[in-house]
Amino acid sequence: MELLVTYDVATTTPEGAQRLRQVAKLCEGYGMRVQKSVFEVVCSDADWVRLNNAFQRIIDDEDDSIRVYRMDRGSFKSVTILGRARRLPHDDALVL
Partner 1 sequence: MTELLNTLYVQTPGASLHLDGDAVRIALPDGGGPRRTLPLLRLESIVLLGNISVSAPLLSRCADDGRAVVWMSRGGRFRCRLDGPTRGNVLLRHAQHLAHADPVVRLPIARACVAGKIQNCRQVVLKGARDAGDTKDALRGIAADLEDSLAAAGAAEDLDVLMGVEGAAARSYFEALAMMIRKDSGLSFPGRIKRPPTDGVNALLSFLYGLVRSSVHGACEQVGLDPYVGFLHGIRPGKPALALDLMEEFRPAIADRLALTLINRRQVSADDFEQLEGGAVQLTEDGRKTVLTAWQQHRQKERPHPVLGRRVAHGLVPFVQSRLMARTLREELPGYLPWTV
For binding to partner 1 (CB under 8 A), which residues are involved?
A: 25-26, 28-33, 41-44, 47, 89-96
* 61 annotated as belonging to a binding site for a ligand: no
Minimum distance between the CB of residue 10 and partner 1, rounded to whole angstroms? 22
Residue from 68, 24, 11, 78 nearest 43 by CA? 68
E strand or H helix at 8, and its extent?
strand 2-8
Residue from 39, 38, 35, 21 nearest 82 by CA? 35
Residue closer to partner 1 by CB (options 24, 79) is 24
Minimum distance between the CB of residue 62 and partner 1, rounded to whole angstroms? 25
Write out the binding residues for Mg(2+).
8
